[in-house]
């Protein structure tokens, strides 16, 4: 299970030495040689490099998962099925559901509590919420999980909130599961005199993962000659 | 170079472009966009200082973007700033001394300009903009011209979206992710600046973590007492 082992290694290193250090050196490409030679980068620069490293790491290690997710979505759409995405929560709506141009119209947003009766076997559901997975799976839905460091549930989670939570984990129940590279500390940057790690990264990272899945899907649809439409600004 | 050669180069270039998938183009474009951020560090540092300057002088720290996408990525965000608030959704009017992060996918969207002018109508305000500076909008005012610190997100007016054969309209913009990264990079500088001034900012504790309520009560009291 490369995802699990990579994640554990990442988290262990992140806890001990910080998030930026946890990203494998060969995957961190700064793109700015001068800046990379700074002996003590500013915090802003450290953050920008960290996001760059997270994306690079994601592309290097999870490209097959992204392709697999694209296959699932494109096959579903080609056979008349639907691709859903849940927007419940604090962060998720920001990923793609804001009313601006560029979202592929085949992606159907689901707001609030999920009405599982809408799902038909063969549909695809992209979600960041573990509690939505099992009921959707029972309907024969293919699941693509974007694994956040936590789930916005008081009773369920990905393991950090309630030690007695026994699963299922996203890795177990989803057909494809892509970790957003954000550690369980949520905060990603260490500052002297602050009590815990500050500054999140999942707002950007979760949107990037969704866009990568959609890009892979569009590639396949175009290849099959299935028309795709982008939404216009609302 | 004669016309035939120009056409030949254009043909080769077009062929090469068309061979790339959208996934490759999106990935390349995103990474290129992220690569430009370290080159803007002087502005990012300056922006962090400007925001801290306003806060240290007793002003408020606000954020605004038209669809509240970036704003909600800051507000009550676990591990984010306790004292940042969203213009229009939470705070309905600016006050003297306020500092605003204004993010946009456009150079001169009327609504963004209204917000920038509303801020500028007050005294001693600081405006940091994160927006395109592509120079395509020749007809009207540009929001970055109103800013104290203007950070170019490097995208065009389509927010870095892609033209793809077989797709109607431009699809999958990258500007959101670039703006988010610049914004948090600015906030990193703000945090460090506040610490350097002996005023470490209060962080919003994680809602879903144990003892959230207890921690939040402490953080709230602290933020109220010190104002940062």
pLDDT of residue B117: 97
Interface mutation target, options B42, B167, B184, chain A, most CBs of A under 10 Å: B184
pLDDT of residue A96: 58
Q: Which two tokens stand for residue B13?
A: 């270039």
Interface mutation target, options A229, A230, A231, A232, chain B, most CBs of B under 10 Å: A230
CA distance A29 to B127: 31
Q: Which two tokens stand for residue A150?
A: 């936590």
Tell whether A208 is covered by a domain: yes
Q: Which two tokens stand for residue B177?
A: 């992710």
Mean pLDDT of B78-94: 93
Q: Does domain B21-226 have CATH number 3.40.50.10490?
A: yes
Are residues A96 and A231 in contact, defined by beta-carbon separation less than 8 angstroms?
no
pLDDT of residue A180: 87
Q: Which residues contact B149 (CB under 8 A, 6 or more apart)?
A: B43, B46, B47, B50, B126, B127, B128, B129
Cβ pair B200:A194 closer than 8 A: yes
Please report, to the nearest 10 degrees, the dihedral formed by the alpha carbons of residues B179, A198, B127, B110 taken in order: 40
**CA R_g for chain B:** 21
Q: Which two tokens stand for residue B34?
A: 């992220």
Q: Is the pLDDT of residue A177 over 80?
A: yes
Cβ pair A30:B35 closer than 8 A: yes
Tell whether A14 is covered by a domain: no
pLDDT of residue B132: 96
Domain total in chain A:
1
Give the predicted TM-score (pTM) of the model.
Answer: 0.85
Higher-confidence residue of B98 and B206: namely B98
Task: Determine the structural domain holding residue A145 and report its residue range.
Answer: 64-224
pLDDT tens track for A10-19: 545 544 445 5
Q: Is the pLDDT of residue A69 over 50?
A: yes
Rounded to a whole number of angstroms, the distance from the CA of A103 to the nearest CA of chain B is: 6
Q: Of the candidates A49, A153, A200, which has its C-beta nearest B79's C-beta? A: A200
Enumerate the domain spans of chain B: 21-226
Tell me which residue has tokens 């579903």: A76
Ranges A89-98, A117-126, A225-234, B43-52: which has the least confidence = A89-98
Mean pLDDT of B151-170: 92
Cβ pair A222:B22 closer than 8 A: yes
CA distance B14 to B212: 55
Cβ pair B167:A222 closer than 8 A: yes
Tell me which chain A residues have a C-beta less than 8 angstroms from the C-beta of B167. 104, 218, 222, 227-230
Quickly count: other Cβ atoms within 10 Å of residue A14's Cβ: 22
Rounded to two decimals, the ipTM of the complex is 0.89
pLDDT tens track for B163-177: 999 999 999 999 999
pLDDT of residue B4: 57
Query: Which of B29, B69, B52 shows the shortest CA–CA distance to B149?
Result: B52
Q: Is the pLDDT of residue A234 over 60?
A: no
Give burial (CB, 10 Å; 0-12/13-18/19+) of A227.
exposed
The pLDDT-based confidence of B5 (bands split at 50, 70, 90) is low
Region of A204 please: left (phi>0), alpha (psi -120 to 50) or beta.
alpha
Are residues B71 and B104 in contact, defined by beta-carbon separation less than 8 angstroms?
no
Tell whether A82 is covered by a domain: yes
Tell whether A164 is covered by a domain: yes
pLDDT of residue B18: 57
Tell whether A26 is covered by a domain: no
The pLDDT-based confidence of A233 (bands split at 50, 70, 90) is low
Q: Is the pLDDT of residue B17 over 80?
A: no
Three-state SS string over chain B comes to: CCHHHHHHHHHHHHHHHHHCCHHHHHHHHHHHHHHHHHHHHHHHHHHHHHHHHHHHCCCCEEEEECCCHHHHHHCCCCCCECCEEEECCCECCCCCCCEEEEECCCCCCHHHHHHHHHHHCCCCCEEEEEECCCCCCCCCCCHHHHCCEEEECCCCCCCCCECCCCEECCECCCHHHHHHHHHHHHHHHHHHHHHHCCCCCCECCCCCCCCHHHHHHHHHHHHHHHCC
A222 touches chain B (CB under 8 A): yes
Q: What is the CATH number of the domain that holds A108?
A: 3.40.50.10490
pLDDT of residue A25: 41
Tell whether A161 is covered by a domain: yes
pLDDT tens track for B118-152: 999 999 999 999 999 987 777 788 999 999 999 99
Question: Number of C-alpha atoms within 13 angstroms, CB side, residue A65?
Answer: 24
Three-state SS string over chain A comes to: CHHHHHHHHHHHHHHHHCHHHHCCHHHCCCCCHHHHCCCCCCHHHHHHHHHHHHHHHHHHHHHHHHHHHHHHHHHHHHCCCCEEEECCCCCCHHHHCCCCCCCECCEEEECCCCCHHHCCCCCEEEECCHHHHHHHHHCCCEEEEEECCCCCCCCCCCCCCCCCCCCCCHHHHCCEEEECCCCCCCCCECCCCCCCCECCCHHHHHHHHHHHHHHHHHHHHHHHCCCEEECCCC
A28 touches chain B (CB under 8 A): no
């Amino acid at each position: 299970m490369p995802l699990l082992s990579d994640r554990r290694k990442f988290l262990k290193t992140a806890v001990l030495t910080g998030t930026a250090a946890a990203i494998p050196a060969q995957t961190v490409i700064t793109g700015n040689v001068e800046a990379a030679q700074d002996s003590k980068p500013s915090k802003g620069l450290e953050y920008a490099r960290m996001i760059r490293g997270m994306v690079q790491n994601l592309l290097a290690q999870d490209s097959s998962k992204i392709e697999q997710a694209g296959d699932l979505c494109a096959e579903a759409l080609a056979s008349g099925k639907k691709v859903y995405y849940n927007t419940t929560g604090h962060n998720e709506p920001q990923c793609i559901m804001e009313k601006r141009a560029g979202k592929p119209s085949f992606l159907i947003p689901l707001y609030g509590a999920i009405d599982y009766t809408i799902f038909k076997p063969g549909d695809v559901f992209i979600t960041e919420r573990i509690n939505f997975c099992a009921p959707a799976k029972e309907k024969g839905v293919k699941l693509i999980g974007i694994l956040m460091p936590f789930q916005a549930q008081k009773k369920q989670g990905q393991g950090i909130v309630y030690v007695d939570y026994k699963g299922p984990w996203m890795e177990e129940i989803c057909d494809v599961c892509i970790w957003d590279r954000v550690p369980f500390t949520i905060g990603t940057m260490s500052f002297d005199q602050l009590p815990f790690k500050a500054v999140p990264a999942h707002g950007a990272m979760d949107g990037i993962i969704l866009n990568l899945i959609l890009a892979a899907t569009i590639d396949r649809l175009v290849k099959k000659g299935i028309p795709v439409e982008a939404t216009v600004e609302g | 170079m004669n016309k035939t050669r120009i056409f030949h180069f254009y043909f080769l270039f077009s062929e090469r472009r068309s061979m790339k998938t959208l996934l490759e183009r999106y990935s390349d474009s995103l990474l290129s966009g992220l690569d430009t951020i370290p080159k803007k560090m002087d502005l990012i540092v300056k922006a962090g200082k400007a925001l801290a300057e306003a806060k240290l002088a007793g002003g408020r720290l606000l954020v605004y973007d038209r669809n509240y996408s970036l704003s909600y990525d800051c507000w009550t965000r676990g591990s984010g700033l306790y004292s940042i608030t969203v213009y229009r959704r939470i705070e309905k009017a600016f006050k003297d001394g306020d500092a605003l992060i204004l993010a946009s996918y456009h150079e001169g969207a009327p609504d963004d300009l209204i917000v920038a002018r509303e801020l500028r109508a007050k005294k001693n305000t600081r405006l940091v903009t994160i927006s395109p500076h592509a120079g395509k909008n020749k007809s009207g005012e540009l929001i970055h011209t109103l800013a104290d610190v203007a950070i170019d997100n490097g995208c065009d007016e389509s927010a870095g979206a892609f033209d793809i054969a077989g797709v109607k309209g431009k699809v999958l913009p990258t500007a959101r992710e670039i703006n988010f990264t610049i914004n948090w990079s600015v906030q990193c500088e703000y945090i460090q600046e506040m610490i350097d001034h002996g005023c470490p900012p209060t962080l919003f504790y994680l809602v879903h973590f144990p003892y959230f309520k207890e921690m939040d009560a402490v953080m709230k009291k602290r933020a109220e007492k010190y104002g940062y």
